Structure 1
Amino acid sequence: MLLENKTAVIYGGGGSIGGAMADAFAAEGARVFLAGRTPAKLEAVAERIRAAGGQAETAVVDATDAAAVNDHVDAVVEKTGSVDVSVNVITGEGNFQPLADIPVDAFAGAVARALTTQLITTRAAARHMVKQESGVLLFFGGSDPANAMAGMGNVQVGFDAVEALRRQWAVELAPHGVRTVTLLTGGIIDTFPDVPEMEGPRQGIINGSPLKRAATMSDVGAVAAFVASEKGRSITSTQVNISVGACYGG
């Protein structure tokens, strides 16, 4: 198995993307620690993993609280001996509106929250990874300046900001053997609400792919597990494109 005897921490582990990564990590042998703010959602993912024969534990953690995050990671390391993979799929509240229509506080607050939580969780894991001289920090979203489009509001701006943060972590942590990789997505339509208003965006993502299909949650998990494993050890300081060709950023 790709991640046998590895420890993975997932912030936002009760959500669809975090859950997909957790499923894949556990299926490849990782011991998965799911962190988030909604116990029922975390436990639902954990129960699914355990039913499939995997190992999963949950913890209610506010990922904007540095002390809480540090305490959680320290507890994970004390229990397992290491933190090998850390991924945070928490984003700020998305405003899919024209920029002129978004209140300044709402725009800036969402981007600030995304950056804050990413900084806190990455820093907490990096403390241990630097000591280990190993580890993988995964990010989700990515930056694709070639494909800017109207109506994205603060969403792509937030992804771009987090990607800039990831690049800075990459140069600072690479000398310590820590890899940093972003999964570049053009949108995971499995996660879209099943309402008529989303049919246009859903079809637009499919049409934007040369293969005329979109990445699934299963695809996200499979690529994340590969990148986090030793099979992906040559991949770092970059984005891995999981958009089925819809995004061109590298």
Structure 2
Amino acid sequence: MLLENKTAVIYGGGGSIGGAMAGAFAAEGARVFLAGRTPAKLEAVADRIRGAGGQAETAVVDALDAAAVNDHIDTVVEKTGSVDISVNVITQEGIFQPLADISTPDFVAAIGKALTSQLITTKAAARHMVKQESGVLLFFGGSDNANTSPGLGNVQVGFDAVESLRRQWAVELAPHGVRTVTLLTGGIIDTFPDIPEMEGPRQSIIDNSPFKRAATMSDVGSVAAFVASEKGRSITSTQVNISFGACYG
């Protein structure tokens, strides 16, 4: 198993992407700790993992509350002895409108929350990983400078901002043996809201791929598990492109 005896903390673990990663990590032997704000969603993911023979625990944690995040990860480390993988898949609330139609306060608030959440959770994990001289910080979404699509509103801007944050973490944490990797997806279309405005972006992702395919949640989990494992130990300070070639960043 790729992640046997590893500990993974997943913020947003009750969502589609977080659940996909959690399931893949657990299938490879990791003990996963799912953190989020909705108990029912967290327990649903945990039940699936346990039903498949994996190990999963849940906790209601607001990723915008630094004290709560730090208390939770300290508890995890007390139980397991380490935190080997930390991933925050909580992104800003997507406003799928032309930029000219989005109010400035809404735009700033959405991206601000995403960056705040990422900063809080990464700081908490890094505090332990630096002591361990090991660990993997995974980020999700990525930055693709070559491609843009109308109708994405604040979404890609937010991903770009998080990727900039990831690059800064990379140079600061690499000397302590901590790897930082972003999964560049170009969009996981089976997680897109089922609204008419998303038909264009959904088809654009497929059309931009030379394979005429889009990555699935299963693809996200499989690649994340590999990257987080020792098999992927040479991958750091970069993006891993899992977009079927739709992204060029």
TM range, smaller chain: over 0.9
Match of residue 160 from structure 1:
160
Equivalent positions of 1:88-167 (< 5 A) are 88-167=88-167
Where has structure 1 moved over 3 Å in runs of 4 or more?
193-200
Report the Cα distance in structure 2 between the residues aligned to 1:150 and 1:206, rounded to whole angstroms. 15
TM-score for the superposition, normalised by structure 2: 0.98
* Between 120-129 and 96-105, the greater mean CA deviation after superposition: 96-105
Superposed displacement of residue 204, structure 1: 2.0
Structure 2 portions without partners, runs of 5+? none
Match of residue 182 from structure 2:
182
Superposed displacement of residue 152, structure 1: 1.8
Superposed displacement of residue 48, structure 1: 0.1
Report the Cα distance in structure 2 between the residues aligned to 1:143 and 1:214, rounded to whole angstroms. 17
The residue matched to 1:57 in structure 2 has which SS? strand
Report the Cα distance in structure 2 between the residues aligned to 1:158 and 1:109, rounded to whole angstroms. 11
Is it true that 1:34 corresponds to 2:43 in the alignment? no
* Between 8-17 and 201-210, the greater mean CA deviation after superposition: 201-210
> Equivalent pairs: percent with the same residue?
87
Q: CA 1:95 to 1:220, structure 2 compared with 1: closer, same or farther past 3 Å? A: same
Superposed displacement of residue 150, structure 1: 2.2
The residue matched to 1:147 in structure 2 has which SS? coil
Match of residue 209 from structure 1:
209
TM-score for the superposition, normalised by structure 1: 0.97
Superposed displacement of residue 97, structure 1: 1.1
Report the Cα distance in structure 1 between the residues aligned to 2:144 and 2:201, rounded to whole angstroms. 17
Pairs aligned (count): 249
Report the Cα distance in structure 2 between the residues aligned to 1:132 and 1:196, rounded to whole angstroms. 48
Match of residue 58 from structure 1:
58
Cα-to-partner distance string for 1:88-116 (whole Å, 9 max, x where unaligned):
00011111111111111100001100000
The residue matched to 2:23 in structure 1 has which SS? helix
Structure 1 portions without partners, runs of 5+? none
Report the Cα distance in structure 1 between the residues aligned to 2:138 and 2:77, rounded to whole angstroms. 18
* Between 5-14 and 192-201, the greater mean CA deviation after superposition: 192-201
